[in-house]
Amino acid sequence: MKITPLNLQQTLPRMAVEGGGKAREGGIDFKAGLNRAIDGLNRVQNEADDMVAKMVTGEVEDIHQVVLAVEKANLSMQLAVQVRNKVVEAYQEIMHMQV
Amino acid sequence: MGIFSSFDISASGLTANRLWMDVVASNIANAQTTRTPEGGPYRRREVVFSTRLEEASSPDLKGGQGVRVVGIVEDESPPRLVYEPEHPDAREDGYVEMPNVNAVTEMVDMLVASRAYEANAAAMEAAKGMLMRALDIMK
């Protein structure tokens, strides 16, 4: 079995880029990702709103379509809340860190 | 929305089975109908289901196929003949052409449609349970 030695010239520049707050190669920028997630959440909530409005005005043929839209909105919101909880938790953790 | 594709598939099943229920209801309601705009007695209707590839799921996975009703066809079997000469729609020989609807068949179809709707609702609930369990991991 041949063991290839670690090539520092190749490894170090990549680590420097990753630590620089920029997007990794092939990854997405955190800010852009967050914005897109919030946009998606907003769209799902609006869809649920539209469906409920359509139901009370009698435009919807199937009740389950309304239930589906509301359920999707509910689950997306719960996921977003969980992610937010995790972010706040991480922030608190860092704030309470003894330097 | 990849995580909701199972919801969309179950929803397509709910829509299809509700439409089937409509057709069965129409068959039962018109079991004695001897006049139609096309002439002749009412003909029993049947739904034709087909798979539908969900837009959300990736096509190369071959999974995530919903269902949709591609057509409602008429049963071509001959009408039921009942001897009733005083009926306004009776033929010259005294027989009345009644719809080719069999109440027992319709009852069975109705039960199948109703149970299939329940099964799709249960599948949707199970998918929701899976997502909720995944969220519980984060807590």
Residues 6+ apart with CB under 8 A from A27: none
Instruction: Give the C-alpha separation, B77 to A38, whole Å.
Output: 57
Reading the block at residue A45, the tokens are 């909530």
The pLDDT value recorded for residue B65 is 82
H/E run at residue B135: helix B103-138
Query: Of A70-79, B18-27, B57-66, where does mean pLDDT reach its minimum?
Result: B57-66
Give the mean pLDDT of A2-30.
Answer: 60
Indicate whether B61 pLDDT > 70: no
Indicate whether B62 pLDDT > 70: no
The pLDDT value recorded for residue B44 is 93
Complex ipTM, two decimals? 0.71
Reading the block at residue A59, the tokens are 């435009």
Mutate to test the interface with B, among A51, A65, A82 (most CBs of B within 10 A): A82
Helix segments in A29-62, DSSP class H? 30-56
**Confidence band, pLDDT 50/70/90 cuts, at residue A12:** low
Mutate to test the interface with A, among B135, B137, B139 (most CBs of A within 10 A): B135
* Model confidence pTM above 0.90: no
Cβ pair B23, B75 in contact under 8 A: no
Indicate whether A19 pLDDT > 90: no
Q: What pLDDT digit, counting tens, does each position of B69-92 carry? A: 999 999 989 999 999 999 998 888
Tell me how many residue pairs between chain A and chain B have CB atoms under 8 A apart: 36
